[in-house]
């Protein structure tokens, strides 16, 4: 599921001003120390809420979603994740032409994720520490 929204965090990373401060330790973050963090609500929580919504509100099974996702990703030739918005638009029009609705499942997830997330930058080390704490 991360593969599909990779472009979003990547765009955010590229658009971030280099002298941002880390919300965890308060120090400046330099180039290669920078990592993107899901602020407030974690990626895992967003994915969990999505699965509940997909199953309960749409009345579909989670296998259906995974099948659509796998199919759509395999269709992106030699690419296992979506790198930018153009790639996503290209993928969408390709599936629309074929009238293949499996793209809708994937777009539903991408939109759900993008609407739920708040991204912030953090130090790589601070981010690792944060991830360790939230896994407990
Ligand atoms: Zn930090």
Q: Which domain holds residue 100?
A: 2-135
CA Rg value for the chain: 17
For ligand 1, the distance from its centroid to the CA atom of residue 36, given in whole angstroms, is 12
Number of domains in the chain: 1
pLDDT digits (tens, 9 = 90+) for 61-109: 999 999 999 888 876 645 667 888 888 898 899 999 999 999 999 999 9
Q: Is 88 left (phi over 0), alpha (psi -120 to 50) or beta?
A: alpha
Q: 16, 34 in Cβ contact below 8 A?
A: yes
For ligand 1, the distance from its centroid to the CA atom of residue 40, given in whole angstroms, is 16
Q: 60, 54 in Cβ contact below 8 A?
A: yes
Distance CA 29, CA 55 (A): 40
Q: Which residues surround ligand 1, an ion (CB under 5 A)?
A: 22, 24-25, 123, 126
Nearest by Cα to 4 from 105, 135, 134: 105
Rounded to an integer, the average pLDDT of 10-21 is 82
pTM: 0.84
For ligand 1, the distance from its centroid to the CA atom of residue 26, given in whole angstroms, is 6
Residue 24 pLDDT grade (very low, low, confident, very high; cuts 50, 70, 90) = very high
């Amino acid at each position: 599921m991360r593969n599909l929204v990779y472009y979003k965090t990547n765009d955010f990373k590229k658009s971030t001003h280099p002298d941002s401060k880390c919300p965890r330790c308060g120090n400046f973050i330099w180039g290669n120390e920078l990592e993107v963090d899901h602020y407030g609500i974690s990626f895992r929580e967003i994915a969990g809420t999505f699965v509940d919504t997909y199953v309960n509100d749409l009345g579909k099974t989670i296998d259906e979603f995974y099948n659509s996702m796998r199919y759509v990703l395999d269709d992106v030739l030699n690419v296992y994740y979506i790198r930018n918005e153009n790639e996503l638009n290209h993928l969408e029009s390709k599936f629309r032409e074929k009238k293949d609705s499996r793209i809708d499942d994937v777009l539903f997830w991408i939109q759900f994720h993008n609407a739920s997330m708040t991204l912030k930058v953090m130090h790589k080390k601070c981010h690792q520490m944060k991830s360790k704490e939230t896994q407990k």
